[in-house]
């Protein structure tokens, strides 16, 4: 058996504990330890998963090959910029940072040292999303809805960086064209930040995407719909299901077309586990991660543009005579 990859987790709150749980079950990983500003929480998690609670980042970095960063977004850059110079690979939760310049700095640090810098856009590992990408054929219109029940988790950022950024990353990855225009509106409902947002993105290749995100919904909803010349594709990210509706010419009889649908379900899939396995694989093989630092930066850039437009308000409307 190959030598196990040594991993540490920095930040063991709600999401960080899931990282610890998954790593602890991987045969090819040695969970070296955890670190958190809450010493009691760090000790509790270390005991629960039979690992070590470190007292300092410097001490942990001497023992690991890679680190998962699951601290609040405002600390992403500070923590990652201390880890990368020690030649340690990094998986950083989304969004990569608050600021594009900081993201650029992290990307440069990783590139200069040939290190893995993976961003935690976990929906890229959702099997329904993976299947959807294999079915794409010049999508013309994309619509996404991501609604969550309100929780205090994630309220350190607004809904664009908390929820919408998942769909931004997926759509930017699938369209593979520069953004031409962004039109966005949003409002605060519960927090002092934007809690509901809608953005319309027009790409230079003509594709149009309409994204809506809310963290004040009465039930969760995570759907992406793709309209393209040969099919309508519907993805339920929450249930990990995808359906495809298309014309079947072989069965069509004049004057009526024959429409067929197929449904695929992946109820037992674990996208977070797949994401962490991909990080370990990239470390072991020296290959590009599935979601690169550049991917994280691109999603951040568009998210910041949306946030800026919402903050500035809609200034101009086009009249229709």
- Give per-residue pLDDT as tens, 54-106: 999 999 999 999 999 999 999 999 999 999 999 999 999 999 999 999 999 99
The separation between CA 89 and the C-alpha centre of its own chain, rounded to angstroms, equals 18
Evaluate whether 5-120+272-290 and 124-269+304-312 have a shared fold.
Answer: no
Burial class from Cβ neighbours inside 10 Å (0-12, 13-18, 19+) for residue 26 reads middle
Q: Is the pLDDT of residue 1 over 50?
A: no
- Domain-by-domain residue ranges, the chain? 5-120+272-290, 124-269+304-312
Residues 237 and 123: beta-carbon distance below 8 Å = yes
> For 162-174, what is the mean pLDDT?
96
Predicted TM-score (pTM) of the model is: 0.91
CATH number of 124-269+304-312: 3.30.360.10
What class is the 5-120+272-290 domain? Answer: alpha beta
What string of DSSP letters covers 83-109? Answer: HGGGT-EEEEESSS-S-HHHHHHHHHH
Helices (H), the chain: 14-24, 39-48, 57-61, 76-83, 100-112, 127-134, 159, 165-175, 271-285, 293-312
The pLDDT tens digits of the residues spanning 135-160 come to 999 999 999 999 988 877 667 779 99
Q: Which of 39-43, 177-181, 196-200, 308-312 has the lowest mean pLDDT?
A: 308-312
Q: What local confidence, expressed as pLDDT, does residue 217 receive?
A: 87
């Amino acid at each position: 058996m190959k030598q196990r990859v040594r991993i540490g987790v920095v930040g063991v709150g709600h999401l960080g504990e899931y990282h610890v749980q998954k790593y602890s079950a991987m045969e090819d990983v040695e969970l070296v330890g955890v670190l958190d500003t809450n010493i009691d929480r760090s000790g509790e998690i270390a005991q629960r998963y039979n690992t070590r609670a470190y007292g300092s980042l410097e001490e942990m970095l001497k023992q690991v090959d890679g680190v998962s960063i699951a601290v609040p977004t405002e600390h992403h850059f500070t923590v990652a910029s201390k880890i990368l110079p020690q030649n340690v690979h990094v998986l950083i939760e989304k969004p990569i940072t608050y600021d594009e310049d900081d993201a650029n700095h992290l990307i440069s640090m990783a590139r200069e040292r040939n290190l893995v810098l993976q961003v935690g856009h976990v929906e890229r590992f959702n099997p329904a999303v993976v299947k959807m990408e294999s079915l794409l054929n010049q999508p013309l219109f994309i619509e996404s809805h991501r609604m969550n029940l309100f929780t205090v988790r994630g309220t350190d950022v607004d809904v664009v960086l908390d929820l919408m950024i998942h769909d931004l990353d997926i759509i930017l990855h699938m369209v593979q064209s520069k953004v031409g225009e962004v039109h966005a509106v949003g409002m605060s409902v519960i927090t002092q930040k934007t809690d509901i947002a809608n953005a319309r993105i027009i790409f230079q290749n003509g594709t149009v995407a309409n994204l809506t995100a809310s963290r004040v919904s009465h039930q969760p909803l995570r759907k992406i719909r793709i309209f393209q010349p040969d099919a309508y594709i519907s993805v339920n990210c929450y249930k990990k299901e995808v359906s495809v509706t298309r014309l079947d010419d072989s069965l069509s009889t004049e004057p009526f077309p024959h429409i067929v649908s197929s449904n695929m379900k992946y109820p037992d899939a674990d996208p977070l586990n797949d994401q962490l396995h991909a990080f370990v694989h990239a470390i072991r093989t020296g290959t590009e991660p599935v979601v690169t630092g550049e991917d994280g930066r691109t999603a951040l850039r568009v998210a910041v543009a949306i946030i800026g437009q919402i903050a500035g308000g809609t200034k101009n409307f086009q009249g229709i005579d």
